[in-house]
Structure 1
Amino acid sequence: MPIAAVNGQNIYYEDTGGTGPAIIFSHGLFMDHAMFAPQVEALKGRWRCITWDERGHAGTASDTLAPFSYYDSADDLAALLKHLGIERAVLAGMSQGGFLSLRCALTHPQIVRALVLIDTQAGQEDPNALEGHMQLANTWATQGLSDEMAGIIEHIILGEGWAGAPAWKAKWKTIKPVNVLGCMQTLASRDDITPRLGEIKVPALVVHGDADAAISLDLAKTLTAGLPDAQLVVVPGAGHAANLTHPQVVNPAIERFLAGLG
């Protein structure tokens, strides 16, 4: 297993290698590096594609999880790129991966060539929705993930009726309680970086499903408007993980954006 011992973490990652420009993909909450398989398949050979598992997730997870913020995760990303000898990269992040990618652009601007922001936002969680999500997480951590709760999470993340959902529901049932609660606390306690978006000068592509049940399309429009050099692509019928469920729309949009970077 490729493990990078960086920033006090043992980070699992995958790297297609090659001499092309680098793009690093950061996954959403309770997902992992594998959610970007459609993008890696489309880009490898022309781009050096790095995927990784964030704190508390999949190959990076352990039996303990100290409190952390998305700024810590941004530092993890920067340290991983340094470990791989990559000076600059395009940062692509879905939801939580977008939270940390935006913060990396604020705290490590010298390593960021551009941003691809998928079903994410700059603000905080809606308090009403967060209350329900925290209740679900507490039940999950104390009683295990029932089929009913797995179906709720499927709806939130993957949308309705996607054929690949059973494999992800099986993965969710293996997540340890410490990681469920710790990662949810990080999500709940993040700051609002909307006022700082103007500091991010690199080109950005904002991709958002119009059926996203977790983050509304209006929040994607707010994110796009706040970034100095951003464009929005709406994915019809897609839920929260648009890149995974609708790659036939998302991949061409990403490829056009990357081709325009020069």
Structure 2
Amino acid sequence: MTTHTHATAPTRYLEADGVRYAYRRFGAETGVPLLMLPHFRAGMDHWDPLVTDGLAANRPVVLFDNAGVGASGGDTATSAEGFAENTVRFLAALGLEEIDLLGFSVGGYVSQALVLARPDLVRRLILVGTKPRAGETQGLGERVPEVAGHEVLTEDDYLYLFFGPSAASRAAGRAFWKRRHARTHDADPESGPDSVRAQDALRADWGTPRGERFEELRGIRQPTLVVNGDNDIMVPTVNSWILFRHIPDAQLVIFPDAGHGSLFQYPELFCSHVTRFLDGEVTPGG
């Protein structure tokens, strides 16, 4: 039995260490909850309902706005570790002691920081369109810094940043754009300029190496699924290969003719891969 959907789940609030967090929980009533951490500037309504509802068919799904993001109060952290600390506080206030964790783009930076700091909280990890600390930048689209910095991202901006140049990929992008705006009641507000600046600082910090490059990835012990499109111009696809090669128990899925938003271009197939990964047996050594 499932309760609510992406479109109908009410926005709820809880307080942790003086910060009021906005969140939504929906889907199956039993199973390990799946916490989903979104991309740069994004809140709860930047997800594709086909993805969130598809995953919620078999498990509880939890979306939330980190401190200072969307409908949540407080100040936005300027590092992945700060975002991760806030996430841990939120989970404790929600009473969750074990989760599966899906991080998309910047949410993937935060997810890596979280599992390294609190491996006891996370059963399995999904990293989508993301990179390790001090990852590769070769392959970054020439216009990405300009377009990603627009005060308001338009449909054309999303098509450039998240989808490929082919007719099929752009058609999938336009379909996603409509789904993304399907929820009109109790919609999540956009993050303000202070939050965006803080998240820019987070991205800059994540690009700075600490110690031996990629070594910390070997400390991720959870079974991990890495997903991307074959031509991600936001977070170049080579980074997904690096994650796969350095995380001890990792699997890799690359979608064809797809960019940063591969999960939005192939929502049903993405959900199928993730569901099999989350519900399958733990791999040897995992």
- Indicate how the Cα distance of structure 1 residues 40 and 146 shifts in structure 2: closer, same or farther if over 3 A, else same: closer
**Matched residue of 2:275: which SS?**
helix
Q: Deviations over 1:120-168 (max 9, x none)?
A: 1103363995996555666x4xxx4486xx6345411344341233686
* Alignment partners' CA distance in 1, 2:30 and 2:142: 46
- The answer to whether the 8 Å contact 1:157/1:241 transfers is yes
Q: Does residue 222 of the first structure (1) align with residue 232 of the second (2)?
A: no
Q: Which residue of 2 aligns with 1:151?
A: 156
Q: Which residue of 2 aligns with 1:22?
A: 33
- Indicate how the Cα distance of structure 1 residues 110 and 9 shifts in structure 2: closer, same or farther if over 3 A, else same: same
Q: Which residue of 2 aligns with 1:57?
A: 69
Q: Which residue of 2 aligns with 1:197?
A: 217
Q: Which residue of 2 aligns with 1:253?
A: 273
* Alignment partners' CA distance in 1, 2:269 and 2:221: 26
Q: Structure 1 residue runs of 4+, over 6 Å off? A: 166-169
Residue identity in the other structure for 2:107: G
Match for residue 195 of structure 2 among 179, 182, 189:
179
* Alignment partners' CA distance in 2, 1:154 and 1:178: 25
**Matched residue of 1:31: which SS?**
coil
- The answer to whether the 8 Å contact 1:224/1:231 transfers is yes
- The answer to whether the 8 Å contact 1:25/1:33 transfers is no
- Percent of pairs with identical residues: 23
- Indicate how the Cα distance of structure 1 residues 59 and 206 shifts in structure 2: closer, same or farther if over 3 A, else same: same
Q: Which residue of 2 aligns with 1:13?
A: 23
Residue identity in the other structure for 1:98: G
Report the Cα offset of residue 53 of structure 1.
1.8
* Alignment partners' CA distance in 2, 1:152 and 1:202: 35
Structure 2: give runs of 5+ residues left out of the alignment: 1-10, 165-169, 182-186
Q: Does residue 103 of the first structure (1) align with residue 103 of the second (2)?
A: no
Residue identity in the other structure for 1:25: M
**Matched residue of 1:255: which SS?**
helix
Q: Deviations over 1:2-41 (max 9, x none)?
A: 1222244322111126222111110011222230532331
* Alignment partners' CA distance in 2, 1:177 and 1:204: 33
- The answer to whether the 8 Å contact 1:56/1:183 transfers is no
More helix by proportion, 1 or 2? 1
Residue identity in the other structure for 2:242: T
- Indicate how the Cα distance of structure 1 residues 71 and 174 shifts in structure 2: closer, same or farther if over 3 A, else same: closer
- The answer to whether the 8 Å contact 1:57/1:179 transfers is yes
Match for residue 77 of structure 1 among 87, 103, 108:
87
Q: Does residue 240 of the first structure (1) align with residue 260 of the second (2)?
A: yes
Report the Cα offset of residue 44 of structure 1.
2.4
Q: Which stretch shifts more, 2-11 or 195-204? A: 2-11
* TM-score using structure 1 length: 0.83
Q: Does residue 68 of the first structure (1) align with residue 78 of the second (2)?
A: yes
Report the Cα offset of residue 228 of structure 1.
0.4
Structure 1: give runs of 5+ residues left out of the alignment: none
Q: Deviations over 1:198-244 (max 9, x none)?
A: 11111000011112111222110011111000000111122212222
Report the Cα offset of residue 103 of structure 1.
0.5
- Indicate how the Cα distance of structure 1 residues 127 and 229 shifts in structure 2: closer, same or farther if over 3 A, else same: closer
- The answer to whether the 8 Å contact 1:4/1:11 transfers is yes
- Indicate how the Cα distance of structure 1 residues 216 and 86 shifts in structure 2: closer, same or farther if over 3 A, else same: same
